[in-house]
């Protein structure tokens, strides 16, 4: 999976703004928008998963549980 770049985010926003105009998006732009959005969502999920794997929770009994193992 490729990392999402600032250029990709700018393109997502550009396509969104164009979709809100009377002109709308072409079919190929709609496909590109969907692909970019899916890549962005996957990147966010991977980032969140990586963050959660590095968090430990201390339980009431004093034991520590790693969220990475849950």
State mean pLDDT over 7-32: 96
Mean pLDDT of all residues in 40-57:
92
Three-state SS for 63? coil
Q: Is residue 37 part of a domain?
A: yes
**Residue 1 maps to a domain:** no
Domain membership flag for residue 38:
yes
pTM confidence score: 0.75
What is the structure's pLDDT at 35?
Answer: 97
- Structural domain that includes position 22: 6-69
Query: How many structural domains are present in the chain?
Result: 1
pLDDT at 2 over 60: yes
Give the phi and the psi of residue 65 in degrees, each rounded to 5: -115, 130
Indicate whether 1 pLDDT > 80.
no
Could you say which DSSP state residue 60 is in?
Answer: T
Q: Helix (H, G, I), strand (E, B), or coil: what is residue 57?
A: strand
- Higher-pLDDT residue of 25, 66: 25
């Amino acid at each position: 999976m490729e990392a999402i770049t600032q250029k990709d985010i700018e393109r997502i926003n550009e396509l969104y703004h164009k979709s809100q105009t009377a002109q709308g998006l072409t079919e190929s732009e709609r496909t590109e928008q969907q692909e970019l959005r899916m890549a962005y969502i996957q990147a966010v999920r991977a980032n969140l998963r990586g963050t959660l794997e590095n968090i430990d929770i201390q339980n009431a009994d004093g034991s520590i549980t790693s969220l990475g193992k849950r």
